[in-house]
Structure 1
């Protein structure tokens, strides 16, 4: 299957869901043909329910990545905001759904579904620790801006895992590849959270997502 066909299929299937919420930002998908540098090969089979039609699929290897994008400054209000997807080439069996009518911004499509050959799985950016997706800020950049740059919003509940105790702060900073000595729980002058600065780690226990850690890098959880 070519990238052009993948993009066309994903676009019309997404719009065929009929969701009318007006999200103008990052509600389109930009498709990339990929090479998985980790050479991961999926195993086993999955049962997918496509609006009541059951298909059994055996994913093979990742072939495409679909990235949430905004088209022409958000000129299509159909929404909703999307996650990123990793698409696996797959061998699928089962009865295909009936023809689909899909109305996108350009035209109305009547689609005959020929063959199921891809399984696209939602992906989470960042590094998963304690059930949350974490990012390490750049120097002088706060958590709100760091999350926004990834197309996400600051996740206070998720960040709470790192802030709860110095050991958790260390776990998160280690996973993010930050340097520094083991973290200390501290009563900080400013609510700069769990961060590394000048080779030392501190856990303030509280974080203002609008406040950068000066010369340090903070651990921030972000979510869609």
Structure 2
């Protein structure tokens, strides 16, 4: 019942949600298709050119619950590597397009491809940064609430299990099964005590404020 070492219950109460993954399609000309061994390879390069800079730019600023090493190697270096990968993909696509348009008759298109790839990558990464800045306050608030809830559970003697029938024990060693989350409370069933429930009350931000005990 934990996620990356964190209490799943604390995250549920804090309202930390998942992310949605979107897909897309694109139609390419027959001549460009012939310049690639597989259509899937070209789609992968295009996806890298679009998504890597966006995710990298967003990841730099959106806020994370990481230690110093995670911040350095994942938030900073990882995000920058994604942006660089996106630039390489964008420059490659620009190079292929310029070769196709000029039919190989013009001077080397490499400088123009690099410049175009840089501009595309900078634009997409900039969009990612803007999205990350917009997401940052809500994410940081949710992270702070989850940490607060971790302390609440520890101070009130809650222990999580990896089971389904019994998901938690309270400070009185009462076995509990987590049932559902509401905006103002978390609901548990008292295992072995027919019809009995227990509740953790939440404030408007999802912070755990009190435990009712079994009723």
Q: Same fold (TM over 0.5)?
A: no
Higher helix share: 2
Question: In terms of Rg, which structure is larger?
Answer: 2
TM-score by length of 2: 0.22
TM-score by length of 1: 0.21
- Work out which structure has the larger RCO, using CA pairs closer than 8 Å and 6 or more positions apart in sequence: 2
